[in-house]
Structure 1
Amino acid sequence: MMKKRKHPIQIVFNTIPIDHAATRAAVEERLEEVRQYRQIGFIRQEAVITASYEPKFHGPTNAISKPTETIAIRNVDKEAELREKSELLDKAMSKLSSPQKEVIERSFLDNEGEYDFISCGEMGISDRTYRRIKASAIQILAAAMRLEVVVLDEEMESCEHSVG
C-alpha cells in the first residue's frame, strides 16, 4: 500500500506543537460568532442616561466621563471587527475543498442546526468520513484564520517530565 506524501507546508507546520483541543474550541467559537453576526447582524449598545437628583460628594478626580462617546466608539469598533472576521472566514473557506465547505456550512453556519449524523446521511458518507473531513477542515480554518493554539514550552517540559 502506498503512503500519502505530506505537503511541504504540512511538514513545516507539524514541527510546531499545537493544542488541538484548544484550537478546535477557538475555531468553533469563531464560527459561532460569525454565524450569529450573519443571521442577526450587530446589536448596538445604547446609552442609558438617568438623571439623579442626589448630590454626589467626592473629591475632585479630574476625570471626565463620556459614556455616550465610549458606547459609540465600542459600537463602531465591534461592528467593524465582526465584519472583518466574517470576511476572513470567507477567505479561509475558499481554501477548503467542496466536501469540507459543505461539512463546515452544515455543522456550524446553517440556520437549521442539524445533527452531524443527519448531515452525513444526506451527503451520502459515513460518520467516520464526515468527522475526518470536519477535523481537517477545522485544522485548515485554524491555520488560515490564525487561531492555532501553540503548546507553551513549560507545558511541554511538564509533559516530558511526567512521562519520563
Structure 2
Amino acid sequence: MSKRQMNSFTIFHSLPVDEAATRAAVIGFLEEVRQYRQIGYIRELASVTHSYSQRYHGATHAIHKPTEQVALRNIDREAELRRKSELLDQAMGGLTVMQREVIERSYLAGEREYDFISCGEMGISDRTYRRIKASALKLLAIAMKLEVFVEPEERTATLSVHGVG
C-alpha cells in the first residue's frame, strides 16, 4: 500500500484501518439492506409446543413469555433494518453520481450484474470502475462508522513478520 493510500484512510483516526475487514463489514451491511429493501422483513413466528408431561420448576420466580419475546425481537429487528436503510440513504447522499451508480449496480440492484458488464454500460474501463467502487466503499465505511481498526499489538506483530519492525 502506498503512503498516499495509507494516509488517506487513517486521516480521521490515530489507528490504522484493516481494509479487508472494513470492506467485508460494508459489503455485509449493503447485502443486509438490499435484502430488506427487496423482500422486507420476514417475521419470526412463535412456536408453542405443549407437553403432556408434568414439569417441575424451581423457585426462580422467573416469568417466561415466549410469544412476547418473539414479538419484541420482530419489532426491534425491523426497526433496526429500517434505521440501517435510512443510514445508507444518508451516506449515499455524500457520494458522487458515479460512485452512487457503481454501488447501486454492484450491491443494491435487484439483478446484480458482473462488473465488466456494468462498466461497459457506463462507458468506463474496468480499472476505473474498480477504483471508483473501492473509494465509494471507503467513504461509506467512514460515513456509516463501519471501520475496523487494527489493534496496536496486532499491528506490531504484522510489521515484525514482514521484517519492518
TM-score (normalised: structure 1): 0.90
- The runs of 5 or more residues in structure 2 that have no matched partner are none
- State the shift of 1:14 in Å: 7.0
Amino acid at match of 1:120: C
Q: Find the counterpart in structure 1 of residue 12 from structure 2.
A: 13
Residue 11 to residue 24, structure 1, CA distance change in 2 (3 Å): closer
Q: How does 1:44-123 map to 2 (within 5 A)?
A: 44-123=43-122
- What do the CA deviations read for 1:33-59 (whole angstroms, capped 9, x no partner)? 000000000111111112211112343
Between the aligned partners of 1:63 and 1:152, the Cα distance in structure 2 is: 41
Residue 10 to residue 104, structure 1, CA distance change in 2 (3 Å): same
Moved more, 73-82 or 51-60: 51-60
How many residues of Structure 1 are paired with residues of Structure 2 in the alignment? 158
Q: What is the percentage of aligned positions where both structures have the same residue?
A: 63
Q: Find the counterpart in structure 1 of residue 140 from structure 2.
A: 141
Moved more, 99-108 or 51-60: 51-60
TM-score (normalised: structure 2): 0.89
Residue 112 to residue 12, structure 1, CA distance change in 2 (3 Å): same
- State the shift of 1:60 in Å: 3.0
Between the aligned partners of 1:119 and 1:68, the Cα distance in structure 2 is: 46
Between the aligned partners of 1:14 and 1:111, the Cα distance in structure 2 is: 35
- The runs of 5 or more residues in structure 1 that have no matched partner are none
State the Cα RMSD in Å. Answer: 1.9
